[in-house]
Amino acid sequence: MNVVELAGVTKVYAGEVAALRGVDLEIRAGELIAIVGPSGSGKSTLLHMIGTLDRPTAGTIRIAGHDVGRLSDRELSALRSRHLGFVFQQFHLAAGVSALDNVADGLLYSGPGLRERRERAAAALERVGLGHRLGHRPGRLSGGEQQRVAVARAVVGEPPLLLADEPTGNLDTAAGAEVLDVLSGLHASGTTIAVITHDNEVAGWAPRRVRVRDGLIVADGTPRPRRTPSGAGVGDGLIVADDHVEDAGEVTR
Amino acid sequence: MSEASEVRERLSPSRLRGRDVLRVGAAGLRARPARVFLSALGIAIGIATMVGVIGISSSSREDLLRQLDRLGTNLLTVEAGQTLFGGETRLPTGSLDMVRRIAPVTTAAATGSVDATVRRTGLISENVTGGIAVRAADGELLTTLEGEMRSGTWLNAATGRYPAVVLGSVAAERLGVTGPGVQVWIGGRWFTVVGTLGALPLAPEIERSALIGFEAAARYLGFDGHPTTIYERSADTAVEAVRDVLPRTVNPENPEEVNVSQPSDALVAKAAAAGAFTNLMLGLGAVALLVGGVGVANTMVISVLERRKEIGLRRSLGATRGQVRTQFLAESLLLSMLGGAAGAVLGALATFGYATSKDWPAVVPSWAFGGAVGATLVIGTVAGLYPAMRAARLPPTEALSTT
């Protein structure tokens, strides 16, 4: 089953060239995918499309089966609260609030009461290896720890799809590796993850890579067929995408 | 590819609980305590002014009403008026006895104007009267006015016949007389002060008088024996009836030449007049409150600008536009309520302090507190509405992309 389906998605910002020029993309449940491209390639716009934070100029987007174009703003909010988790390059943690309450806020718009939110937040922090840091404020955590708190906030509601926008962009190599480890663990337990990055090293860590350039997907594939943890079929993973594979050499190695 | 069967899920956002609305609203305030303090201060000053003004004028009115209770409203005064053609009139000499014969009248007394001045010595010019009148007074005057002696004794049958004088409180002060035994110069001869009176709120003219007995006035100062003012008290229930018969009783020939008045009316009028001053001050308080509201709106607009990322994050977590709007509205309401509560306390303290210094009972009517709460609710809503709508309209991508 596809968590994300994009068909002919185009996005034109007012007075600018098209940021996306007809993108087709499918992400299956349980996949770990890296969307790679230089700055200005349209990968951030692509993330906004998948994350339902913005609407396409043309084309259709389906998230968890819902046609985004047909949903009202309220319904999109509900969709985000149930199906999507976001991790941003700049963590976006509230400064004066403990790690526990930062994570608990991830459930604020999903319905549970404060006590349940905190219990689940503690469990989520445990999952990202920060069970001993519940009461710490963001200022007293390292960069890697802060990003792990942000990951915990994104997954505390157990969304089927986790979107990470340059999750290691503000971190040194060691801290970045920590965060990627956490994401690998979540992927192993069944979460579908899409990571946006310009970093080839990060891209190399993901089993499937989608290369974006000038608003188009120029390559989509895995270096080698491999069984995804969710048990998707062997053949399914290997899709070296269509005609414009200029960068394919770089990707498939 | 079509998983139409999957798409049966209803996507409706869950409601934010009241407690959570308060939590997110308060979280925004906790992050910036200094700014919160300053913008709440504006509201606090406005509310404190209004509560204080209402409290102080209520306390003053309460004091007047209590004074009125103490002094009673059953005192009437009868004065000689004017003829139809504007000439001076006099009350008949027997009028006091006539008043005493009215059944509900419990006590009555008369004073008569004497054409003389009072000075410390004959060396002082006759023109320097200090605004003190010389009056002949009836022995019952002290009882009728329910006055008290500050020092010395009241006129009696003996002292009323000789050059003895009792000074009203203001007259004594102006003459520099502190107690009995002093001599003052009245109408060309020495009179001995036998006592001074305490304050008489219902008869301020007596406070400014030098009082001598009827007989002494006639003997030494050529007084004609006609009273100018008669004071009488009756049972509370009969005041109106007595008032009606007084003119005919006092001057059966020309009842229209007699003026009857109720001195307590002046106090009642004073209590009512306290409101006129209050309205002006309330207007000032309202302006202060308005300025405070503008301050809150300004704070909220800046807060929304600064917190675009937070707004974007909340939208990505699934907050609807309405929930973002609610959050900022709650923040604005909390901010102004904070100021309102502080202002109400300050206003009450100011009332208490001022009333205590004036020896008034401190009274802040509960409607003043109710009004303060209402005003802050309105201000918080109005000030927060525009910033909250701006926050809600912010597209999530724009909010997240600002670095």
- The CATH number linked to A245 is 3.40.50.300
B88 pLDDT band, cuts 50/70/90, is: confident
- At residue B17, does pLDDT exceed 50? yes
**CA of B400, closest CA in chain A: separation in Å?**
9
| Interatomic CA distance for residues B304 and B306, integer angstroms | 5
| Interatomic CA distance for residues B128 and A249, integer angstroms | 119
Q: Among B67-76, B129-138, B169-178, B367-376, which stretch is predicted with the lowest mean pLDDT?
A: B67-76
Residue B31 has its nearest CB partner, among A54, A78, A95, at A95
- Please tell me if residue A118 touches chain B, with a CB cutoff of 8 Å: no
Out of B240, B261, B282, pick the residue that ends a domain: B261
**Phi, psi dihedrals of residue B314, rounded to the nearest 5°:** -65, -40
- At residue B354, does pLDDT exceed 80? yes
Cβ contact (<8 Å) for A74 and B12? yes
pLDDT value at position B8?
60
Residue A66 has its nearest CB partner, among B7, B30, B316, at B7
Candidates B306, B314, B317, partner chain A, best to mutate (most A CBs within 10 A) = B317
Q: Which two tokens stand for residue B122?
A: 């004959």
Task: Please answer whether residues B378 and B43 qualify as being in contact, where contact means their C-beta atoms are separated by less than 8 angstroms.
Answer: no
Cβ contact (<8 Å) for A74 and B7? no
**Phi, psi dihedrals of residue A216, rounded to the nearest 5°:** -130, 150
| Interatomic CA distance for residues B236 and A241, integer angstroms | 107
Cβ contact (<8 Å) for A2 and B3? yes
Q: Which two tokens stand for residue A34?
A: 């890296």
Average pLDDT value over all residues in chain B: 88
Residue A109 has its nearest CB partner, among B7, B319, B396, at B319
Q: What is the average per-residue pLDDT within B30-38?
A: 90
Same domain? B321 vs B278? yes
Q: What is the average per-residue pLDDT within B300-321?
A: 92
The residue whose two tokens read 């969307």 is A35
Residue B257, SS3 per DSSP = helix
Candidates A43, A47, A53, partner chain B, best to mutate (most B CBs within 10 A) = A53
**CA of A81, closest CA in chain B: separation in Å?**
4
pLDDT value at position B276?
65
Q: H-helix or E-strand containing A196?
A: strand A192-197
Chain A residues inside the 8 Å CB shell of B320: 73-74, 77-78, 109
**Phi, psi dihedrals of residue A60, rounded to the nearest 5°:** -120, 150
Q: Which residues pair with B234 in a beta bridge?
A: B105
Candidates B14, B316, B326, B402, partner chain A, best to mutate (most A CBs within 10 A) = B316
Nearest CA in chain B to A107: B317
pLDDT value at position B127?
82
Beta carbons within 8 Å of B201's beta carbon, 6+ residues apart: B67, B71, B267
Q: Which residues pair with B198 in a beta bridge?
A: none
B28 pLDDT band, cuts 50/70/90, is: confident
**CA of B344, closest CA in chain A: separation in Å?**
30
| Interatomic CA distance for residues A134 and A102, integer angstroms | 10
Count of beta carbons in the 10 Å neighbourhood of residue B373: 14
pLDDT value at position A237?
38
Q: Among A238-247, B10-19, B103-112, B264-273, which stretch is predicted with the lowest mean pLDDT?
A: A238-247
Q: Which two tokens stand for residue B103?
A: 């059944």
**CA of A93, closest CA in chain B: separation in Å?**
8
Residue B11 has its nearest CB partner, among A71, A111, A153, at A71
Same domain? B28 vs B78? no
DSSP code of residue A37: -
Chain A residues inside the 8 Å CB shell of B9: 64-66
pLDDT value at position A142?
93
| Interatomic CA distance for residues B325 and B384, integer angstroms | 9
Q: H-helix or E-strand containing A3?
A: strand A2-12
pLDDT value at position A72?
93
**CA of A74, closest CA in chain B: separation in Å?**
6
Residue A105, SS3 per DSSP = helix
Same domain? B321 vs B214? no
B5 pLDDT band, cuts 50/70/90, is: very low
**Phi, psi dihedrals of residue A69, rounded to the nearest 5°:** -60, -20
- Please tell me if residue B393 touches chain A, with a CB cutoff of 8 Å: no
- Please tell me if residue B23 touches chain A, with a CB cutoff of 8 Å: yes
Q: Is residue B390 part of a domain?
A: yes
Please give the interface size between A and B, counted as residue pairs whose CB atoms are below 8 Å apart.
Answer: 111
Nearest CA in chain A to B403: A90
Same domain? B36 vs B108? no
Q: Which region, left, alpha or beta, applies to residue B71 given φ > 0 means left and ψ of -120 to 50 means alpha?
A: alpha
| Interatomic CA distance for residues A135 and A151, integer angstroms | 17
Chain B residues inside the 8 Å CB shell of A77: 13, 315, 318-321, 323
Chain A residues inside the 8 Å CB shell of B319: 77, 81, 108-109
Cβ contact (<8 Å) for A105 and B317? yes
Tens digit of each residue's pLDDT (9 = 90 or more) over B58-70: 888 888 888 888 8
Task: Please answer whether residues B101 and B133 qualify as being in contact, where contact means their C-beta atoms are separated by less than 8 angstroms.
Answer: no
Tens digit of each residue's pLDDT (9 = 90 or more) over B224-263: 888 989 999 998 888 888 888 888 888 888 888 888 888 8
Give the domain extent around A144. Answer: 2-251
- Please tell me if residue A75 touches chain B, with a CB cutoff of 8 Å: yes
- Based on the number of CB atoms within 10 Å of its own CB, is A38 exposed (0-12), middle (13-18) or buried (19 or more)? exposed
**Phi, psi dihedrals of residue B110, rounded to the nearest 5°:** -130, 155
- Please tell me if residue A51 touches chain B, with a CB cutoff of 8 Å: yes
Most confident of A162-166, B66-70, B97-101, B200-204: A162-166
Same domain? B82 vs B207? yes
pLDDT value at position B321?
94
Percent of chain B, pLDDT > 90? 47
Q: Is residue B11 part of a domain?
A: no
DSSP code of residue B14: P
B16 pLDDT band, cuts 50/70/90, is: confident
Residue type, B193: V
Q: Count structural domains, chain A.
A: 1
Same domain? B327 vs B251? no
Same domain? B182 vs B212? yes
pLDDT value at position B66?
87
| Interatomic CA distance for residues A170 and A143, integer angstroms | 8
3 state SS for B343-399: HHHHHHHHHHHHHHHHCCCCCCCHHHHHHHHHHHHHHHHHHHHHHHHHHHHCCHHHH
Chain B residues inside the 8 Å CB shell of A51: 316
Candidates A77, A116, A161, A162, partner chain B, best to mutate (most B CBs within 10 A) = A77
Residue type, B273: A
Task: Please answer whether residues B25 and B334 qualify as being in contact, where contact means their C-beta atoms are separated by less than 8 angstroms.
Answer: yes
Q: Count structural domains, chain B.
A: 2
**Per-residue CA distances from B166 to A89, A209, B118, B199 (Å):** 95, 113, 12, 13
Nearest CA in chain B to A46: B397
Q: Which residues pair with B191 in a beta bridge?
A: B184
Question: Which residue ranges in chain A fall short of pLDDT 70?
Answer: 222-253
Out of B204, B228, B261, pick the residue that ends a domain: B261
Q: Which region, left, alpha or beta, applies to residue B91 given φ > 0 means left and ψ of -120 to 50 means alpha?
A: beta
Cβ contact (<8 Å) for A80 and B16? no
Same domain? B290 vs B380? yes
DSSP code of residue B88: B
Residue A110 has its nearest CB partner, among B314, B318, B395, at B318
Out of B227, B261, B295, pick the residue that ends a domain: B261
Give the domain extent around B363. Answer: 18-67+268-401
Q: What is the average per-residue pLDDT within B99-123?
A: 89
Residue A53 has its nearest CB partner, among B1, B19, B397, at B397
The residue whose two tokens read 């109106």 is B240
DSSP code of residue B82: B
Beta carbons within 8 Å of B41's beta carbon, 6+ residues apart: B292, B339, B342
End-to-end Cα distance, chain B: 39
| Interatomic CA distance for residues B264 and A168, integer angstroms | 86
Residue B272, SS3 per DSSP = helix
Tens digit of each residue's pLDDT (9 = 90 or more) over A97-133: 999 999 999 999 998 999 999 999 999 999 999 999 9
**CA of B26, closest CA in chain A: separation in Å?**
12
Task: Please answer whether residues B300 and B332 qualify as being in contact, where contact means their C-beta atoms are separated by less than 8 angstroms.
Answer: yes
Q: Is residue B4 part of a domain?
A: no
Q: Among A204-208, B84-88, B175-179, which stretch is predicted with the lowest mean pLDDT?
A: B84-88
pLDDT value at position A222?
67
Cβ contact (<8 Å) for B401 and A78? no
HSE-CB for A234 with a 13 A CA cutoff: 0
Q: Which two tokens stand for residue B379?
A: 């201000």
Same domain? B146 vs B250? yes
Long-range contacts of B275-281 (CB under 8 A, 24+ apart): B275/B57, B277/B57, B278/B53, B278/B54, B278/B57, B281/B49, B281/B53
Widest pairwise Cα distance in chain A: 53
Cβ contact (<8 Å) for B319 and A108? yes
- Please tell me if residue B13 touches chain A, with a CB cutoff of 8 Å: yes
- At residue B311, does pLDDT exceed 90? yes
The residue whose two tokens read 């992400």 is A27
Chain A residues inside the 8 Å CB shell of B314: 108-109
Task: Please answer whether residues A81 and A157 qualify as being in contact, where contact means their C-beta atoms are separated by less than 8 angstroms.
Answer: yes
Same domain? B177 vs B214? yes
Q: Is residue B315 part of a domain?
A: yes
Q: Is residue B316 part of a domain?
A: yes
Cβ contact (<8 Å) for A80 and B9? no
Same domain? B241 vs B284? no
**CA of B33, closest CA in chain A: separation in Å?**
12
Same domain? B102 vs B249? yes
Q: Of B327, B291, B278, B290, which Cα lies nearest the Cα of B57?
A: B278
Dump the DSSP string for A133-188.
-TT--GGGS-HHHHHHHHHHHHHTT--SEEEEESTTTTS-HHHHHHHHHHHHHHHH
